[in-house]
Amino acid sequence: MPWIEMLRFSSRRSPVVCTRGCTATSQPLATDAGLDILKKGGNAADAAVAMAAVLSLTEPFSTGLGGDCNCMFYDGITKKVYGLNGSGRSPQALTLDLLKKEGFDDTNPLPLYHANLVTVPGAAAAWCDTIRLFGSKKELAQFGKKGFYEGRIARTIVEIIQQNGGVMNLDDLKEHTSTEVTPFFTDYKGLRIWELPPNGQGITALMALNMLENFNIRELGHNTADYIHLLSEAMKLSFADCFWFCADPAKVKVPVEELVSKHYSKQRSELINMQRTNSQPLHGNPCGGGSDTVYFTAVDAGGSACSFTNSNFSNFGTGLVPEGCGFALQNRGANFSLSSEHPNCLAPGKRPYHTIIPALATSAATGQLLCSYGVMGGFMQPQGHVQVLLNMLEFGMNPQEALDAPRFCVNYKKSDSTWKLSLEEGIHQSASQELIARGHNVHWPVSGHDRSLFGRGQIITKGAWWDLQLALTAEDGQEVLWAGSDPRADGCAIGF
C-alpha cells in the first residue's frame, strides 16, 4: 500500500511559499514582528530576537526574560553553522549538603516551584549576544546585559528568591555569561542534521536517527504499528543514554562524539526487537518538567537562518515574579539529579540537563541550508525533531503536512521505572492494539487540549528538498522557501 494511503489525517493548513524571507512562531503577532524586521533589512538573527521579545508578552507562561534560550545560526554566505548556549547556572551557594539539611534528596526532590530551582536567567544575555554575534542592525534596550544582571533588576530577582528560601545572590547574576558552542551533527541519507551539544538533549535526536538509518523506514509505512514501535524503541535507547550522560561539559566529561558515532548507534540498534518492546527500567532520568517553551525560526533573503528556543521550563516557571519586572523566574533546576553518583547531579555554578533544542539541516555534500526547524515540549522535543524530519524526508510531506501529522510520545516515569507510549488522535486504533500486543503501555487516543503533550513546531525549508519533483527556484532564480506552523498552537508562518 502506498504510504499516502496510510495517512489518517487531513491537513487543514496550506504551506507558506515565498522567496524573500520567512518567519514562523506559535503566535501571529510575534511572527509578524519578525517579518517586519526582515522587511526593514534585518537578518534572521535580528528577527529571532524580535520574535523572542514579543513572545515574552504574548506567551508569558511559556517564555520570558526569567528563562533561558538556545539558538543556532546558519550563515548564508560562509555556509557555517554556529551555536549559542544561553542557559543559566545554579547558584554558587547551592549544594547537595545544603539541600540534605533541608530534607531534600534524590528520593524526595524539591517541589517544582521551590525558589532553589531558579537557575540564573540566561535569556537576556543570549538575546544581546545573538545580536552581537550574528545580527546586522537591531538595537537592544538602552542598558543591555548590564542593565539586567546588575542594578535594580538583579536586586529584585535576588530579593524574591531569598524571600522564598532560595540562596541565589548578586554575584551569581553578575558573573553569568552565554557560551559560544560548536554544534554537533550526524548525516542521514544526504542530510546533515545539526543539534547543540550538552547540556542540551539534542544528541538524543542524533542518536535515534543513527539507529533508524539501519532500517527501511519508508517500507514500514507512516504511523503503522511497525513504524511507531521502531521509532519509540530507538527513542527509548537514546533517552537511556542521554538521561545519564547529558550534563554540563564544563563540570563533567560528556562523551558526545562516542554517543553520536555510527558504530555505537549500530550496536544500539541491534538491541531493538521488532516483535517486543524493551521494558527494562532505565536509570538516570532527571526530575520531569512541563512543555512550556516556545520555538521559532527565521530565514532571510541572504540565505541565513536562525533557529531559536526560549523557555521558562514549566508553566510560569517557579511563579516567582521580581517586583516591578513583569516576568516569572524559571525552575530549570528541576532537571538536576540529587544523586551524588549522577553526572548531572546538582553542583554550584552548574548548568542542568536542558530540554530546549533548536535544529538545522544542511546538505551533507554542499553545506547548503535545507531546513530550520524545531518542536518544543520538554522531552517531546527530540522525538518531535525525528518525527517531522522523517515525515518530510521519508514520506514526502511538505512542512505543514509534516507538522499536522499525528505524533507519538514516549515518557519515562521514574517512580516505577516504566515507559508510557502516548498516541495522538488520528493514529489508527489497529496500530494501538498491535502495540499493546507487543508489550507497550499505550495511551490512545490523546485528543483535545491534551494534545499539547506532542509539542508545537515550526519549520522553514529551502528549495523544496523533500520533493525533487517540485520547482526549486522562482523565475528570478531565487530559491523558494516553504514553511509551516504547528496547528497545536495559535501561530503561523508568514513570508514575503
Q: Give the mean pLDDT of 88-104.
A: 96
Q: What is the pLDDT of residues 114-147, one digit of tens each?
A: 999 999 999 999 999 999 999 986 855 567 899 9
Q: What whole-number distance in Å separates Cα of residue 444 and Cα of residue 456?
A: 19
Confidence grade of residue 282 (pLDDT, cut at 50, 70, 90): low
C-alpha cell at 379: 522531552
Confidence grade of residue 314 (pLDDT, cut at 50, 70, 90): confident
Q: How far is CA 397 from CA 11, 205, 222, 390, 491, in A?
A: 10, 20, 11, 9, 20
C-alpha cell at 234: 530507538
Q: Give the mean pLDDT of 456-472.
A: 77
How much is the pLDDT for 472? 56
Q: Which of 240, 195, 128, 150 is nearest to 385 (CA)?
A: 195
C-alpha cell at 313: 521550563
Q: What whole-number distance in Å separates Cα of residue 101 and Cα of residue 88?
A: 25
Confidence grade of residue 479 (pLDDT, cut at 50, 70, 90): confident
**Which 3 state secondary structure label does DSSP give 90?**
coil
30, 297 contact by CB (below 8 A): no
- Mean confidence (pLDDT) of the chain: 90
Length of the chain: 496
How much is the pLDDT for 288? 41
Strand 369-376 versus strand 456-462 pairing type: antiparallel
Q: What whole-number distance in Å separates Cα of residue 63 and Cα of residue 480?
A: 31
How much is the pLDDT for 377? 86
User: What DSSP letter does each residue of 242-302 carry, written as one string?
Assistant: HHHH-S-TTTS---HHHHT-HHHHHHHHTT--TTS--------PPPP---EEEEEEEE-TT
Residue with cell 543570549: 126
* Helices 28-39 and 44-58, packing angle to 10 deg: 150
How much is the pLDDT for 375? 95
Angle at the Cα of 146 from the Cα atoms of 140 and 152, rounded to 5 degrees:
105
Q: What whole-number distance in Å separates Cα of residue 203 and Cα of residue 237?
A: 12
Confidence grade of residue 279 (pLDDT, cut at 50, 70, 90): confident
Residue with cell 545539526: 194
210 membership: H or E segment, kind and range: helix 203-212
C-alpha cell at 455: 509539542
Set out the domains of the chain in order of their start, with CATH numbers: 3-182+286-406+455-495 (3.60.20.40)
| Main-chain phi, psi angles of 308, to 5 degrees | -140, 135
Amino acid sitting at position 481: L
Q: What whole-number distance in Å separates Cα of residue 160 and Cα of residue 166?
A: 9
| Main-chain phi, psi angles of 92, to 5 degrees | -65, -25
Q: What is the pLDDT of residues 43-71, one digit of tens each?
A: 999 999 999 999 999 999 899 999 999 99
